[in-house]
C-alpha cells in the first residue's frame, strides 16, 4: 500500500494551513451596533405572533392534563351517542323520498369504481419505463422553475435580513 502523499495532496494541505493561518490573523469581526437589539426585537415579535398557537408541548402541565381529560371523556360520550345516531340515520334513509337519492349515490359510487378500474388498467398497459420517465419529467417541470425563482429572486423577506 502506498503511504506516500502525492504532490497534489501536499499542496492542498499547505494551502489549507495557509488559509487557516490567514483567518486566525484576522481581527475579530464586530457586529453592527444595533444588531443585538434588532435580533431580540424580532424574537419577541415572533413570540407575540405565535401567541396561543404554541405547540401543546409548550403548554403548562395543567392545561395539557385538562385537554387529555377532555379527550378521554369524548370516548365514552361517542360510545353512547353512536347507536342512537345510527338508528336515526337508518330511519331517515328508509323514508319514502330518500330511495332515489340512495340510488343516485350507488350509481355514482359504481361510476367512480369503474373509473378507478379503468385508470388501473391504463397504468398496467403503460410500460414502467414510460411511467418512471413521466415522473422524472413532471418533477423537473416543478423543480426547474422553483430553482430558477430561488436563484433569481433570492431571499426577499425582511426576516432573513435581521
The three cell numbers of residue 5 are: 502523499
Q: Where are the domains of the chain?
A: 45-95
Kindly report the average pLDDT of the chain as a whole number: 79
Q: Write b or e for each residue in 27-57: b if 16 or more Cβ atoms lie within 10 A of its Cβ, otherwise e.
A: eeeeeeeeeeeeeeeeeeeeeeeeeeeeeee
pLDDT tens readout for residues 80-122 = 888 888 787 777 777 777 666 667 777 788 888 888 998 888 8
User: Can you give the chain as a three-state secondary structure string?
Assistant: CCCCCCHHHHHHHHHHHHHHHHHHHCCCCCCCCCHHHHHHHHHHHHHHHHHHHCCHHHCCHHHHHHHHHHHHHHHHHHHHHHHHHHHHHHHHHCCHHHHHHHHHHHHHHHHHHHHHHHHHHHHHHCCHHHHHHHHHHHHHHHHHHHHHHHHHHCCCCHHHHC
Q: Model-level pTM greater than 0.95? A: no
The three cell numbers of residue 59 are: 403548554
pLDDT for res 162: 42
pLDDT for res 159: 47
CB 93 within 8 A of CB 102: yes
CB 42 within 8 A of CB 162: yes
Rounded Cα distance between 102 and 89, Å, is: 13
Rounded Cα distance between 40 and 4, Å, is: 53
Who has greater pLDDT, 87 or 24? 24
pLDDT for res 16: 92
Amino acid at each position: 500500500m502506498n503511504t506516500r502523499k502525492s504532490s497534489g495532496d501536499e499542496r492542498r494541505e499547505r494551502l489549507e494551513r495557509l488559509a487557516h493561518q490567514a483567518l486566525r490573523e484576522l481581527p475579530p469581526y464586530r457586529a453592527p451596533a444595533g444588531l443585538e437589539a434588532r435580533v431580540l426585537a424580532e424574537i419577541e415579535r415572533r413570540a407575540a405572533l405565535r401567541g396561543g398557537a404554541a405547540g401543546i408541548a409548550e403548554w403548562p402541565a395543567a392545561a395539557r392534563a385538562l385537554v387529555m381529560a377532555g379527550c378521554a371523556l369524548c370516548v365514552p360520550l361517542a360510545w353512547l351517542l353512536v347507536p342512537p345516531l345510527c338508528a336515526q340515520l337508518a330511519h331517515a334513509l328508509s323514508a319514502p323520498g330518500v330511495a332515489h337519492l340512495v340510488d343516485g349515490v350507488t350509481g355514482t359510487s359504481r361510476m367512480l369504481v369503474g373509473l378507478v378500474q379503468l385508470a388501473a388498467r391504463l397504468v398496467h398497459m403503460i410500460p414502467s419505463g414510460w411511467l418512471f420517465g413521466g415522473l422524472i419529467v413532471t418533477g423537473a417541470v416543478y423543480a426547474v422553475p422553483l430553482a430558477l425563482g430561488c436563484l433569481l429572486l433570492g431571499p426577499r423577506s425582511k426576516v432573513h435580513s435581521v
